[in-house]
A and B are shown apart, each in its own frame.
Chain A
Amino acid sequence: MAFLSLQDVTYSYANNNLIVDAVSLEIEKGKFHSLLGKSGCGKTTLLKLAAGLLIPETGSIQLHGAVIQPSEKIGFVFQAPTLLDWKTVIDNVLLPVSLKRKVTKADVEKAESLLALMGLSHLKKEYPTRLSGGQQSRVSIARALIQTPSMLYLDEPFSALDAITREELQVDLLRLCELHQMTVLFVTHDISEAVYLSDRIAVMDKGRIIYDLPVSLQNRHTPEFRYSGQFNKLCLEIRTAISGGL
């Protein structure tokens, strides 16, 4: 059974413009799935539907067999880091816990270890305004992981970062996902990012999934893979699909 399952999901905004058009999608446990497409193709709306942030007009969305709703099982990373300026880095990471109950020593230790994994231990007492864009993105990922969610949603989290920082963060993200055995739904408009990270890529256009590509190559999470012929072939295949050539 699929871990996250979307069946015939439709969604439109007030002007009856169909944003997501009868999309079905199934993601297996522990897999990294990307939604790829041009701006305005409906990928972010589909991600929000899949996370329970929007309610579909028709169709159903189930996480582990139950109707999706906000819970500890879900982690969400937004396009902007959305950190609270008035809280320190560690308090930002602990926010999901502090909204549920009193923060314990164990929670603080966990937040510290996540920040250590992200290489941000020395900044835990700083306020977000002192951090660079990349560091803020890392904090927002640590915040999404503090409750060890089984399902992680990411909405173009690295799109505002420079190429080198983006590559570093991609590596960090993959490491953390493998460590926690997380299932991931990742939205991006960057073809090479999708190919590098994903087990499966769904290409979207005008609210529909127009192409579905499994990526099952060995050693694809190595730096060399980014510059290999196979990598470029996959990128080209996706690029052609986006242009409507497949």
Chain B
Amino acid sequence: MRTFLTSRRGILTGRLLVGTAVIVAAAILPLLAIDIPGVLPGPTYTPGTLTVLAYAMLIAALALSYHLIFGVAGMLSFGHAMFFAAGAYGLGIILRLLAPTGMPSEVVFLLSIGITLVVALVLGNLVGALALRVSGISFAMVTLAIAQAMNVMIRRNVGGLTGGEEGITLTVSVVPDWLVGVVNTRNLYWMALAVLVLVYLACVWVERSRLGHVVAAARENELRVTVLGLRPYLVRLFLFGTAAVLAAVAGMGFMLLQSSATPRISTSDFTLTLLVIVVLGGVGYRWGAIVGGIVYTLLDQRLAALASSDVIAGLPDVLRIPLSEPLFILGMLFVLVVMFAPGGIVGIAHRATGWRGSKKDVEEPAVLQDMEA
């Protein structure tokens, strides 16, 4: 006998309810005074904590867009950070260029966002069109090389636009008042939450669409998809372009939150961090990217705080040096997850609760089986 909760519609309604509850809980967080010592830097209403949480959500949104490329399409891209950087730098540069035109600041702000989105779309499609001509490791290398070239151009301050190593700052005069300053950290937090929800919905939409199914099918067996008369190249290109735009959206959120951007966000190390996040959370799971992004960011922040604490400083060198390097701990954690828990955090959670959903077969993802080819 099928009860309401096990029927398909029941599961969908249930998920919708859980999702809404999570969003509502996240949205009222700035109004509460929850203090989790060791996890958060302070009570949830303080600007410091809200900034960390907002940053974590933007990273989660970026990881979600990477999940589209890596988890859904099974393509190992080492250049995803360049689209995040395109969003952050694009918004910063265009705002600064349009600021002296004398247009009302609201118009300048919206126009800049629009232009940045178009730039990201064009860039994503250009890079994708080139890189998708090859597959597997070569694809990874082409994306790595292009991202590296972008990083070099940003650091060299080409055309005097990017500010070189110093980076660029936000032109606050044309940004709406409610998004500027420490007083409005709460609004920035809600903005980051909105970005995350928006990117999540876009991912759901893409994955559930017919195009998403074709991309997933091409990941599993490209030859069969081709024989069926479909062209994997075009759907992959669309997916790549979509992921680029979504990454740029997260990048714009980052620019508004941090009020500045440095070349660090365009390095290949930053893309590798994304890879770590997606695998840590669980490849192939949307929730994995979100959980991974938030866990990674909080761990990174807290481990850095731990590193400068007295407890660590008192230890002998053999323990003190590794423990005071957050990236060392995160890197080794990542290695352990890859070796012993291929499903990541979400995979472990599913195994622990005995949950067997429709994604059972994604548990040990067959991503990039064509790497050898």
- Asked if A pairs with B, the answer is no
